[in-house]
Amino acid sequence: MHLVKVKLRSDDLTSAATSEPIVTDLIWVHADPDAGVEHVRVWIQPDAMVIALFICSAAESRAQDVAAALMKRILNTPAMRGWHSI
């Protein structure tokens, strides 16, 4: 199991994605069932969002690849408009 943290920033903090439960649901909806995502935690901060993904994988590089692909999918949703990885 590997912990992968992702930090996002947005110019528009009024978007739908400023709700931790909404972002958590988006992640689960877009997570590939075979990717090994076991746990998700989201923190909304005044100027950013931090996402922690616990991914079951033998290699850390594989867990990072899974997280990157998942973030790419959710960042392309209307709810995440304006958010980007930092």
Instruction: Please tell me whether residue 67 adopts helix, strand or coil conformation.
Output: helix
Count of residues for the chain? 86
Q: Which residues contact 77 (CB under 8 A, 6 or more apart)?
A: 26, 30
How much is the average pLDDT of 20-40? 93
- Cα dihedral: 22, 73, 41, 43 (round 10): -70
Contact 54, 1 (CB under 8 A): yes
Three-state SS for 64?
Answer: helix
Structural domains in the chain plus CATH codes: 2-85 (3.30.70.600)
pLDDT at 19: 85
Predicted TM-score of the model (pTM) = 0.89
